[in-house]
Amino acid sequence: MTPDQQQQCLSNAEAHCLNQGARLTNKRKRILFLLLDSGTPLSAYQISDAYREKYEHQLSIMSVYRMLNFLISQHLAHRLETTNQYIACAHMQNTEHQGSEHGTLQFLICDQCKRVDESGIRNDILLQLNQELRKSGFTMQQEQLEIHGTCHRCAKKT
Ligand SMILES: [Zn+2]
Ligand SMILES: [Zn+2]
CATH code of the domain containing 61? 1.10.10.10
- Domain of residue 64: give its range: 1-98
pTM beyond cutoff 0.85: yes
The CATH number covering residue 123 comes to 3.30.1490.190
Residues 6+ apart with CB under 8 A from 129: 145
Q: What is the per-residue pLDDT across 80-90, written as a single tens digit (0 to 9) for each? A: 999 999 999 98
pLDDT tens sequence across 11-22 = 999 999 999 999
What spacing in Å lies between the alpha carbon of 154 and ligand 2's midpoint? 4
Q: Which residues have their alpha-adjacent CB atom under 5 A from ion ligand 1? A: 89, 91
Number of domains present in the structure of the chain: 2
Same domain as 131, residue 87: no
Residue 143 has pLDDT above 90, yes or no: no
CA gap 103, 62 in Å, rounded: 29
Out of 56, 75, 98, a domain closes at 98
Same domain for 51 and 116, yes or no, is no
- Given this model, what pLDDT does residue 96 score? 56
